[in-house]
């Protein structure tokens, strides 16, 4: 999609403070609470002393590895019921149930093609060979001896969502093949320089240790820029589903290229044209010709609250909250429409706003109780504006499947029920 600059904030829109003040006055109730004396008859509510204050709780020794509250047991990965969960498995992050920008390790999305290998790190090796002066074999401990770095980046499958109908009900159904974490590891550049690159080196073929030996061709410029070989995620060692004990992180590139269970780096002069970059993960144009090497995930956003599958409790104040991201750098602005695209308001970006990471946005909103459609569009630091689905189809036709970064609208009915407007 060409770069364009569309959308402006409304200088006359009400301030957050005025919206909160107005919402608090509705019905004579406070914004986030009820007057004393209006509680139900439950013995655990004020002014009674709740049961959990009357006896000591569970001692720490019974929880050597912390787990969520049992009252949050519904917040789990969204695993499609109609997808065989072995050869082509995936599990989506429950984005609409999460806050901030960091995805917990246990809820991080999964995508693998031959199951999750059970790798003993003491026996795992990373081979580096090809157009290098000194072919090398590294143990996991060898990799950890390099100077370490930690950075926050998102990962997203390029089929998130694929261009197909039905598009899904919830935000997780639509874009749940997306997560964000703090990654700790070493610069790929340092590892390549240890072996000494030859002048003719232009590509690195990364291969995983899963049963399909997943492999992708990576431009040498990316390898020498911000690529990482990582061993930790959100402060703990990678989980098996995320590539334990070593994986690649290529910030901003499609998820499939961030090879998990990394076992081999083959430096070459040409790409390998593997299955995952020919018959899979390619973008078809209207004439059926595939775009070659569409690596970068373009600017994208989605409203998570309110979103599909949720219901507004009534008219009045509601905070619109969502996430935005771009594989080309930082998010510069997010615009939100609450009137089906007739007008747009600039949302507040929550700090930190990081390059190639999720950015949380918020907009205070007072719903008047009438049916409407809400949506968001991201603008990144290059000036690229997230397109509508119609704009995307006008450029690509309807043959494409991957790299669908279209705007996703939510329809709000008079009873507060939220549904995917693109399905109607």
CATH of the domain at 231: 3.90.420.10
CA 83 – CA 182 distance, rounded (Å) = 29
Contact status, residue 335 vs residue 321, Cβ threshold 8 Å: no
Q: Are residues 331 and 182 in the same domain?
A: no
Beta bridge partners of 155: 179
Q: What value does the mean pLDDT of the chain take?
A: 90
Q: How confident is the model at residue 207 (pLDDT cuts 50, 70, 90)?
A: very high
Peptide bond preceding 245: is omega within 30 degrees of 0, i.e. cis?
yes
Parent domain of 146: 105-281
Q: Which helix (H) or strand (E) holds 18?
A: helix 16-25
CA 130 – CA 200 distance, rounded (Å) = 11
| C-beta neighbour count of 215 within 10 angstroms | 17
Domain boundary among 250, 281, 312: 281
Q: Are residues 140 and 270 in the same domain?
A: yes
Is 31 inside any structural domain?
Answer: no
| C-beta neighbour count of 358 within 10 angstroms | 26
The answer to pTM > 0.85 is yes
Contact status, residue 174 vs residue 303, Cβ threshold 8 Å: no
Helix (H, G, I), strand (E, B) or coil at 207: strand
Q: pLDDT by residue (tens digit) across 290-348? A: 888 999 999 999 999 999 999 999 999 999 999 999 999 999 999 999 999 999 999 99
Contact status, residue 249 vs residue 179, Cβ threshold 8 Å: no
Q: Encoding tokens for residue 20?
A: 């909160």
Of 79 and 184, the structure prediction assigns the larger pLDDT to 184
Is 97 inside any structural domain?
Answer: no
CA 395 – CA 285 distance, rounded (Å) = 8
Q: pLDDT by residue (tens digit) across 179-197? A: 999 999 999 999 999 999 9
- Average pLDDT rounded to a whole number, residues 255-271: 98
Q: How confident is the model at residue 11 (pLDDT cuts 50, 70, 90)?
A: very low
**Number of domains observed in the structure of the chain:** 2
Query: CATH number of the domain that 317 lies in?
Result: 2.60.40.650
Q: Are residues 172 and 305 in the same domain?
A: no
Is 388 inside any structural domain?
Answer: yes
Q: Are residues 262 and 380 in the same domain?
A: no
């Amino acid at each position: 999609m060409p770069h364009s600059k569309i959308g402006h904030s409304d200088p006359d829109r009400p301030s957050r403070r005025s919206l909160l003040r107005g919402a608090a006055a509705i019905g004579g109730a406070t914004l986030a609470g009820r007057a004393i004396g209006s509680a139900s008859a439950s013995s655990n509510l004020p002014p009674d002393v709740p049961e959990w204050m009357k006896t000591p709780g569970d001692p720490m020794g019974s929880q050597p590895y912390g787990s969520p509250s049992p009252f949050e047991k519904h917040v789990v990965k969204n695993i499609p019921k109609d997808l065989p969960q072995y050869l082509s498995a995936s599990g989506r992050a429950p984005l609409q149930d999460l806050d901030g920008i960091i995805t917990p390790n246990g809820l991080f999305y999964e995508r693998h093609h031959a199951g999750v290998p059970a790798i003993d790190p003491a026996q795992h090796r990373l081979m580096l060979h090809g157009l290098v002066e000194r072919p090398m074999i590294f143990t996991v401990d060898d990799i950890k001896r390099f100077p370490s770095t930690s950075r926050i980046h998102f990962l997203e499958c390029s089929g998130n969502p694929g261009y197909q109908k039905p598009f899904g009900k919830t935000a997780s159904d639509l874009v749940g093949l997306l997560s964000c974490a703090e990654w700790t590891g070493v610069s790929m550049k340092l590892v390549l320089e240890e072996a000494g690159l030859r002048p003719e080196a232009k590509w690195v073929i990364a291969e995983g240790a899963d049963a399909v030996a997943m492999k992708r061709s990576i431009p040498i410029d990316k390898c020498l820029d911000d690529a990482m070989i990582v061993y930790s995620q959100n402060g703990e060692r990678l989980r098996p589903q995320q590539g334990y004990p070593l994986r690649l992180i290529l910030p901003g590139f499609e998820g499939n290229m961030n090879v998990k269970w990394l076992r081999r780096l083959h430096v070459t002069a040409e790409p390998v044209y593997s299955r995952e970059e020919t018959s899979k993960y390619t973008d078809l144009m209207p004439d059926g010709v595939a775009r070659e090497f569409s690596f970068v995930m373009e600017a994208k956003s989605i409203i998570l609250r309110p979103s599909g599958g949720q219901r507004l409790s009534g008219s009045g104040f509601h905070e619109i909250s969502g996430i935005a991201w771009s594989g080309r750098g930082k998010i510069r602005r997010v615009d939100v429409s609450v009137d089906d695209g007739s007008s747009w308001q600039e949302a507040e970006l929550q700090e930190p706003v990081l390059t190639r990471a999720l950015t949380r946005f918020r907009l205070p909103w007072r719903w008047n109780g009438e049916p409407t459609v809400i949506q968001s569009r991201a603008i990144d630091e290059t000036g690229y504006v997230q397109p509508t689905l119609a704009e995307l189809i006008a450029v690509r036709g309807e043959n494409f499947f991957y790299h669908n970064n279209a705007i996703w609208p939510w329809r709000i009915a008079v009873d507060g029920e939220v549904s995917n407007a693109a399905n109607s």
